[in-house]
Structure formats: structure tokens, C-alpha cells
């Protein structure tokens, strides 16, 4: 069924096509041509204009040959840096880069698996319903491709996102909401040696606020983190401004609000204590999703894996993905483990058997 050598060669070829975030066009055009050759109708949307990328999202459709439910498959085309000039190599059944770049299995392993499955479906004339594909841009750094998809273009009400580091057979049914929290403390400059009491230290305010925050693992469903902090100049000047960027995440939307409000209050209290001021911006990056473990999308994956002898488990994720956005737009989607190992690092790698099993699962889902 799966042509393992063709699948492996496809993946190795894909990762050598540069597609860093916002520069996905070359890869998108190659995928567009290959999808059309497989008989799909393909369009590129206008997400480039909305996001600043040089490419839009790819939306592709394959008409079914049987009365079955329409299903969506999705993976993202962009890769994190450093991802130019990737040189993949295979060592003892595992694919690595040469160590100077990431590998790009996140998410080209997902794309290669979908493409191989489509080719198998076509070559073998297998029975399937309507199949819809969304290959998105700008997933890394904000899910901006999926946020700018025109969901009226899709008929599918269930979907499968192939973009998780778990084993093939892992079904991510729950993912967190995230708030971005940007903070600027504003104090008053003064000479730190001559008249420090005339100043208001933005550093002191920021330190007070952060020291009073519940951070990192807040509870089993909630996390929070200060990502970057900057400000100040010479040691003999009381610092006027300090800026920091933070985030809060939770599997529970109410808990996310509670945590975000807590962090804002810590900032406001610190500014008041020292007589300065603070500007705080809270922006929701994406909402949480929670797909019931008895949902038909979950059952479909379990059935597919059962036929293949692959063990399944339902689990949660601490990270965001396009899955969050699809669920928020009426497509009940789960994220699937595809064997991404150490993504976003120079040690990223992918076991060949995981790539093969992922493609096999996709074929079974397309047939289901």
C-alpha cells in the first residue's frame, strides 16, 4: 500500500526546500503542482496580504467516490530557523540534519505523509469521501495562516492536524488557550549617585511585580512565563522604562483569565507602590480546545490504528497549534502524533518507521 521508499524520498526532498516562516512560497508552489497532478483542485488564498508572508495558504480538494463524510487534513508549510540549506541524513533508521540546521520534520513529516496517502488513494482506486487539505503558512510564531483561512471554503466538520511530537497513535484531544501579556513600566530618571531619591526606578517596579507573580507551573492546567525583559542604560541613572513580554496558558479559559488578571494586578500594584505607572496589554493568541474522547474523530483514529496494530492513547498538549484555530472555527479537529523528536532544535530527528506509520494512518483515515 504505502510506497515506503517513495515516502522517504519525498520527505528528504521536502526538507531541502527552504521554507522559513513568511517565506513559504517556493514550497507552496511545488506542493500546488503535485496536488494538481494527483487530481485535486487547488487554490492559494489571500493570507499573504494579511500576514506579510510571500505565500498564501493552500486549499485543496479531492472529490469522493463514495458517500462518506468530508474530512480535512492539515499541516503547516513553514519551518523555524535555522532552516536554510537543510542537509538530511539517515543513521540507523533515523533522519537527522547535519547539525547546523533543524531537520524540518515539524511539519514536513505531516505534509509528506498526507501527500503519500493521497497518491496511494489515487493509485489504488480506494473508496473515500470528499477530502479537503489545508497546508498553512506562518504557523510558527502565532498560527497566523490558520487564523486567516476562509473557513467558508471548507465543507468538513471534522479534521486531523498532523503536527505533534508524540508517537503515531497519539491523539491530542485538548490544547490550551494562550494570552500574550506586554508590560511597560514608566518611572522617573534621576542621577543614581547624586539624587536617587528623586527618581522612580522602573527596574524596581518590574522586580516587585514579577516577584509577586505565580509563574511557570501554576496548576495542572495552567502555566505562565516571563519571556524577555529589557530596559535601562548607564548604572548612574535611575531607569525610567522597563519592558517585558510574558504569556499565560491554560486548558481552562476561565483559569486563563484568572491568571492573566493576577499578572496585571501585580504590575498595577507595583507601579502604585513606587509611584510610577504601567501600561499593560493582554491579547488572546488562541482559545483552548477540548474534543471528547468518544468523539467520532478520535474513534476514527483508534479504528485506523487498530487495523494497523498501532497502539493509541488520548492526551493533552501544553502548546498551541492550528488545531486550536480549526476548533474555534467550527471544524472539530484533533492533533496527531507524527514522531517529531526535539523539534525547534539542532538535534531534531525523525524515525523512519514513524514517518511510515503516520502515512499508513492517514490512508486508513481517508478510507474510513
Q: Check: CB of residue 219 under 8 Å from CB of residue 146.
A: no
Residue 78 bears catalytic tag:
yes
| Catalytic residue chosen out of the listed positions 106, 116, 132, 139 | 139
Give the C-alpha separation, 49 to 59, whole Å: 16
- DSSP state for residue 99 in the 8-state scheme: S
| Catalytic residue chosen out of the listed positions 78, 247, 340, 348 | 78
Q: CA-CA distances (angstroms) from residue 286 to 4, 81, 141, 175? A: 37, 23, 12, 10
- Joined together, the cell numbers standing for residue 46 give 489571500
Residue 24 bears catalytic tag:
no
Alpha helices in 290-351 (DSSP H): 296-308, 322-328
- Which has the closest alpha carbon to 112: 63, 153, 61, 163? 163
Residue listed under C-alpha cell 527618581: 199
- Backbone region of residue 127 per phi and psi (left: phi > 0; alpha: psi in -120 to 50; beta: other values): beta
Alpha helices in 40-131 (DSSP H): 47-51, 105-123
Give the C-alpha separation, 106 to 102, whole Å: 9
**Torsion angle (degrees, nearest 10) of CA 183, 189, 190, 191:** 90
Q: CA-CA distances (angstroms) from residue 219 to 173, 246, 251? A: 19, 17, 10
Residue 310, C-beta contacts closer than 8 angstroms, at least 6 positions apart: 168, 169, 357, 360, 361
- Joined together, the cell numbers standing for residue 240 give 525610567
DSSP bridge pairs for 172: 315, 335
- Mind telling me the catalytic residues? 78, 139
Amino acid at each position: 500500500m504505502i510506497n515506503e521508499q517513495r515516502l522517504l524520498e519525498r520527505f528528504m526532498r521536502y526538507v531541502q526546500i527552504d521554507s522559513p516562516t513568511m517565506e513559504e512560497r517556493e514550497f507552496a508552489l511545488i506542493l500546488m503542482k503535485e496536488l494538481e497532478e494527483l487530481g485535486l483542485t487547488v487554490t492559494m488564498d489571500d493570507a499573504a496580504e494579511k500576514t506579510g508572508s510571500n505565500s498564501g495558504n493552500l486549499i485543496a480538494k479531492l472529490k469522493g467516490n463514495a458517500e462518506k463524510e468530508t474530512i480535512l487534513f492539515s499541516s503547516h508549510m513553514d519551518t523555524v530557523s535555522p532552516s536554510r540549506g537543510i542537509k538530511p541524513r539517515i543513521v540507523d533508521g533515523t533522519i537527522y540534519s547535519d547539525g547546523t540546521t533543524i531537520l524540518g520534520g515539524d511539519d514536513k513529516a505531516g505534509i509528506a505523509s498526507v501527500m503519500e496517502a493521497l497518491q496511494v488513494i489515487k493509485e489504488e482506486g480506494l473508496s473515500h469521501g470528499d477530502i479537503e487539505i489545508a497546508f498553512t503558512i506562518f504557523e510558527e510564531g502565532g498560527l497566523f495562516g490558520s487564523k486567516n483561512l476562509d473557513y467558508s471554503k471548507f465543507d468538513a466538520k471534522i479534521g486531523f492536524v498532523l503536527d505533534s511530537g508524540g508517537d503515531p497513535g497519539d491523539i491530542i484531544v485538548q490544547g490550551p488557550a494562550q494570552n500574550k501579556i506586554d508590560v511597560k513600566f514608566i518611572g522617573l530618571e534621576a542621577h543614581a549617585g547624586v539624587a536617587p531619591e528623586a527618581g522612580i526606578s522602573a527596574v524596581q517596579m518590574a522586580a516587585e511585580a514579577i516577584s509577586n507573580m505565580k509563574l511557570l507551573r501554576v496548576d495542572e492546567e495552567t502555566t505562565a512565563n516571563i519571556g524577555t525583559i529589557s530596559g535601562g542604560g548607564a548604572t548612574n541613572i535611575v531607569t525610567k522604562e522597563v519592558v517585558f513580554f510574558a504569556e499565560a496558558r491554560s486548558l481552562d479559559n476561565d483559569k486563563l483569565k484568572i491568571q492573566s488578571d493576577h499578572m496585571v494586578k501585580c504590575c498595577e500594584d507595583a507601579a502604585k507602590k513606587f509611584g510610577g505607572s504601567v501600561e499593560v496589554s493582554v491579547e488572546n493568541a488562541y482559545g483552548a480546545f477540548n474534543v471528547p474522547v468518544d468523539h467520532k474523530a478520535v474513534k476514527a483514529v483508534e479504528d485506523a490504528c487498530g487495523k494497523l496494530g498501532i497502539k493509541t492513547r488520548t492526551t493533552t498538549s501544553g502548546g498551541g497549534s492550528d488545531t486550536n484555530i480549526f476548533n474555534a472555527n467550527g471544524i472539530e479537529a484533533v492533533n496527531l502524533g507524527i514522531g517529531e523528536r526535539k523539534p525547534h532544535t539542532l538535534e531534531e530527528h525523525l524515525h523512519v518507521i514513524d514517518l511510515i506509520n503516520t502515512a499508513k494512518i492517514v490512508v486508513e483515515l481517508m478510507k474510513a
